[in-house]
Amino acid sequence: METYDIAITDPAHVAGITAAREAYNAALPALAESEEGAQPLVTNEEYVQFVMARAAESYARQYGTE
């Protein structure tokens, strides 16, 4: 496991992350069927972790490193 630190300093970017997290949470009822165990993401930190984990999963598939 590796840990990465990021800094989002632009208020507009933070607002965008918040809006994306809220949209994800709003879509959870529809996602429940395809993403078993999907839970609301309460903080932006949780959302960014979720997004980056999904990106890393996609990279592993794309580059055959799974």
Of residues 6 and 35, the one with the higher pLDDT is 6
Query: Contacts by 38-46 with C-beta closer than 8 Å and gap 24+?
Result: 44/14, 44/17, 44/18, 46/21
Indicate whether 27 pLDDT > 90.
Answer: yes
The model's pTM is: 0.86
The pLDDT of residue 36: 73
Predicted local distance difference test score (pLDDT) of residue 38? 85
Q: What is the mean pLDDT of residues 42-48?
A: 97
Give the residue among 28, 47, 46 at the shortest CA–CA distance from 38: 28
**14-22 contacts, C-beta under 8 A, 24 or more apart:** 14/44, 17/44, 17/47, 17/48, 18/44, 20/47, 20/51, 21/46, 21/47
- pLDDT band, residue 35 (cuts 50/70/90): confident
